[in-house]
RNA sequence: UCCUCAGUAGCUCAGUUGGUUAGAGCGGCGGACUGUUAAUCCGUAGGUCGUAGGUUCAAGUCCUACCUGAGGAGCCA
């Protein structure tokens, strides 16, 4: 996806090593080159083998396969038995225009080698549709399917685009710690990290576990967010971002939650809430646009897959066509409203008046539920929505308090079908206000001395947000389950592979 | 964690109010086939019906518990 079309002479030149030996070329490059007449060597895995003659091969470089045509003179009966779905092969031959109708070019094989056989009695992937649930059980092999090939390539493109966007904007990438000693990151249950003997841990006099004997000399966990450390860096480097794994030990069993997921967290000094929203919106649109420009074939395939999956659904429950949906988000401003305005809209909405909300809107202070967010995004505004200025009670301690004494400078971006894709805020830069809020919430101010120091010395207004990378992948791929947009999902009761 | 649904061949599923020997398509295996497109055609093997109890003359089918998965909810990104 990052290669330009290679002119024929270039392909022919790259085709051979200095020793004059034919070099392997990726199938994507062969197809893009259109270098009909060239001698090529391709290597990959057999997807189909038809009529003892047509070997269809994929090497992961493209959603598209290449067909090799092998005469009896090239593959004898013994070799034919080894060419099965899933086997790895190397094919040498001349690239020609195809006589068949399913592909524009194909390779007339002069030599076929089976590199590794795949016992067809045991190989679980058949040339037919498999359920996504079944493929999850064979996650080690599902890269070999069209769907996961496409998702994996798009995922890579998005990773690259994240770094490109921030690099272009002068942001600095920070690796924040994965093992953390702070227990007030306030984002849910954490996984303990310990080298103590689980059956027989050292105890203190009162019978509690003595973590001073543990590896780090204190109780430690896997991080639930790199934000606090990100703030430290931003208050010196100006603009930073993190892109790392995050762990939540919540017993969440949904299509939108993982116990281990990847999060992008930019943190910007001298940014107020509006700057923060502007950046987040620009960022999301950049990523979507990057996908359209670099992954169109994969997106077209994923779009077809989604439509196929949804064809049995009633018309009004079907998703907008994937590429159309992506373009729509790029082309339209996100709606921006305050929490208080959202409550008003919801209170006056049809479902509220007809008592159709499972959780009724009880005015200011009501925590918005999925059904409310969905109404705002999918029914009322019909585009992404940024909600700001939430009641301080339902948000984290570090968010900047507004003058009204009731709300904080938070912002959540809600996407259709996904819900919250971004959560962020302007941070409280006043040492006094931050300390008071932490005391109200019984948070250990002393233990957080390093965090408080940034407010003590040269504090400035600053903001940041977190983007759940897999949620972005859900939106961009049209997949319905977050377990299908990460190679090896970690969820309650599942850490296989 | 809560609610609902599901678990039958390698995969996708059918299996009636409990009643003889549990079926199909795909895949596999054997064979045919030199321009196929999820190739096609002929033949064939393959099942402790999620696990453990229970009800019954009789359980894939009914009951209980547990395991696993899916959809929805909560928590959130």
Q: Which nucleotide is nearest to A422 (CA to C1')?
A: B77
Domain A8-127 belongs in CATH node 2.40.50.140: yes
pLDDT tens sequence across A230-255: 999 999 999 999 999 999 999 999 99
Q: Which nucleotide is nearest to A134 (CA to C1')?
A: B11
* CATH homologous superfamily for the domain A144-188+224-334+383-484: Bira Bifunctional Protein; Domain 2 (3.30.930.10)
Q: How far is Cα A478 from Cα A61, in angstroms, rounded to an integer?
A: 21
Which pLDDT value is given to residue A314? Answer: 72
Within 8 A by CB and 6+ apart from A55, the residues are: A46, A48, A49, A67, A68, A69, A70, A83, A89, A91, A109, A112
Which pLDDT value is given to residue A359? Answer: 87
pLDDT band at A481 (very low <50, low <70, confident <90, very high): very high
Lowest mean pLDDT segment, chosen from A11-20, A327-336, A345-354, A395-404: A11-20
**Can you list the positions of beta strands (E) in A302-454?**
335-338, 385-391, 407-415, 419-427
pLDDT band at A181 (very low <50, low <70, confident <90, very high): confident
Question: Which of A13-17, A44-48, A186-190 shows the highest mean pLDDT?
Answer: A44-48
| Strand B–CB A251 distance below 7 A | yes
Average confidence (pLDDT) over A319-340: 94
Which pLDDT value is given to residue A358? Answer: 85
| Strand B–CB A395 distance below 7 A | no
Which pLDDT value is given to residue A166? Answer: 98
Q: How far is Cα A185 from Cα A173, in angstroms, rounded to an integer?
A: 21
ipTM: 0.92
Average confidence (pLDDT) over A205-215: 92
Q: Is the pLDDT of residue A186 over 70?
A: no
Average confidence (pLDDT) over A128-144: 93
| Strand B–CB A258 distance below 7 A | yes
Q: Where do you find CATH 2.40.50.140 in chain A? A: 8-127
Average confidence (pLDDT) over A173-193: 83
Q: Within 139-178 of chain A, which residues have Cβ less than 7 Å from strand B?
A: none
| Strand B–CB A304 distance below 7 A | no
Dihedral sign for Cα A166, A171, A173, A174, please: negative
Which pLDDT value is given to residue A35? Answer: 87
| Strand B–CB A367 distance below 7 A | yes
- The mean predicted confidence, pLDDT, of chain A is 91
Which pLDDT value is given to residue A304? Answer: 93
Q: Which nucleotide is nearest to A131 (CA to C1')?
A: B12
Q: Are A67 and A58 in contact (CB under 8 A)?
A: no
DSSP A136-197: HHTTTTGGGSHHHHHHHHHHHHHHHHHHHHHHHTT-EE----SEE------SS---EE--S-
pLDDT tens sequence across A332-344: 999 999 999 999 9
| Protein-to-nucleotide distance from the CA of A134 to the C1' of B62, whole angstroms | 30
| Protein-to-nucleotide distance from the CA of A51 to the C1' of B39, whole angstroms | 7
Q: Which nucleotide is nearest to A253 (CA to C1')?
A: B1
**pLDDT exceeding 90 applies to what percent of chain A?**
78
Average confidence (pLDDT) over A454-475: 96
| Strand B–CB A69 distance below 7 A | yes
| Strand B–CB A84 distance below 7 A | yes
Neighbours of A200 (CB within 10 A): 7
| Strand B–CB A76 distance below 7 A | no
Average confidence (pLDDT) over A290-303: 97
| Protein-to-nucleotide distance from the CA of A307 to the C1' of B7, whole angstroms | 27
| Protein-to-nucleotide distance from the CA of A420 to the C1' of B37, whole angstroms | 42
The bases of strand B with some atom under 7 A from any protein CB are: 1-2, 10-13, 26-29, 33-39, 67-77
pLDDT tens sequence across A29-77: 999 988 899 999 999 999 999 999 999 999 999 999 999 999 988 998 8
Among protein residues, the one whose C-alpha sits closest to the C1' atom of B33 is A51
| Strand B–CB A244 distance below 7 A | no
Q: Within 178-197 of chain A, which residues have Cβ less than 7 Å from strand B?
A: 187-188
| Protein-to-nucleotide distance from the CA of A51 to the C1' of B40, whole angstroms | 9
Beta bridge mates, A88: A45, A116
| Protein-to-nucleotide distance from the CA of A259 to the C1' of B75, whole angstroms | 12
Among protein residues, the one whose C-alpha sits closest to the C1' atom of B70 is A133
Which pLDDT value is given to residue A80? Answer: 93
Within 8 A by CB and 6+ apart from A8, the residues are: A33, A34, A35, A38
| Strand B–CB A470 distance below 7 A | yes
Question: Which of A200-209, A362-371, A410-419, A464-473 shows the highest mean pLDDT?
Answer: A464-473
Q: Is the pLDDT of residue A98 over 50?
A: yes
pLDDT band at A261 (very low <50, low <70, confident <90, very high): very high
Q: Where do you find CATH 3.30.930.10 in chain A? A: 144-188+224-334+383-484
């Amino acid at each position: 996806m990052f290669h330009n079309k290679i002119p024929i002479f270039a392909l022919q030149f790259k085709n051979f090593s200095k020793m004059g030996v034919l070099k392997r070329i990726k199938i994507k490059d062969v197809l893009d080159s259109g270098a009909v007449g060239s001698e090529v060597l391709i290597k990959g895995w057999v997807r189909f083998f038809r009529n003892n003659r047509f070997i269809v091969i994929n090497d992961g470089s493209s959603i598209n396969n290449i067909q090799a045509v092998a005469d009896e003179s090239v593959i004898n009966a013994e070799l034919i038995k080894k060419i099965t779905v899933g086997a790895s092969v190397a094919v040498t031959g001349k690239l020609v225009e195809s006589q068949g109708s399913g592909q524009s070019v194909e390779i007339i094989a002069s030599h076929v080698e089976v590199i590794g056989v795949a016992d067809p009695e045991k190989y679980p992937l058949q040339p037919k549709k498999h359920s996504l649930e079944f493929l999850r059980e064979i996650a080690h092999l599902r890269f070999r399917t069209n769907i996961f090939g496409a998702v994996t390539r798009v995922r890579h493109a998005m990773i690259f685009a994240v770094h490109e966007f921030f690099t272009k904007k002068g942001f600095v990438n920070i690796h924040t710690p994965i093992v953390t000693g702070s227990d007030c990151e306030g984002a849910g249950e954490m996984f303990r990290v310990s080298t103590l003997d689980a059956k027989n841990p050292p105890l203190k006099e009162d019978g509690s576990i003595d973590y001073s004997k543990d590896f780090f000399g204190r109780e430690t966990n896997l991080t639930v967010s790199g934000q606090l450390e990100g703030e430290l860096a931003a208050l010196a480097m100006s603009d930073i971002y993190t892109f790392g794994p995050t762990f939540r030990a919540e017993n969440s069993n949904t299509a939108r939650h993982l116990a281990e997921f990847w999060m992008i967290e930019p943190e910007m000094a001298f940014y107020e809430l509006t700057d923060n929203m502007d950046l987040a919106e620009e960022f999301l649109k950049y990523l979507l646009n990057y996908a359209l420009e670099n992954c169109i074939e994969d997106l077209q395939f994923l779009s077809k897959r989604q439509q196929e999956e949804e064809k049995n659904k009633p018309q009004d429950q079907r998703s907008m066509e994937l590429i159309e949906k992506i373009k729509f988000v790029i082309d339209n401003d996100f709606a921006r409203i305050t929490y208080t305005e959202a409550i008003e809209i919801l209170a006056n909405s049809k479902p509220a008046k007809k008592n159709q909300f499972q959780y009724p809107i009880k005015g200011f202070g009501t925590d918005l539920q999925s059904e409310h967010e969905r109404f705002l995004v999918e029914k009322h505004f019909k585009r992404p929505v940024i909600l700001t200025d939430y009641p301080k009670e339902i948000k984290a301690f570090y968010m900047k308090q507004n003058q009204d004494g009731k709300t904080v400078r938070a912002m959540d971006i809600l996407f259709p079908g996904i819900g919250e894709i971004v959560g962020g805020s302007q941070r409280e830069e006043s040492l006094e206000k931050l300390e008071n809020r932490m005391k109200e919430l019984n948070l250990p101010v002393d233990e957080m001395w390093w965090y408080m120091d940034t407010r003590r010395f040269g504090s400035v207004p600053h903001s940041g947000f977190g983007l759940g990378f897999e949620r972005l992948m859900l939106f961009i791929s049209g997949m319905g389950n977050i377990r299908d947009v990460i190679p090896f999902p970690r969820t309650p009761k599942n850490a296989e592979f």
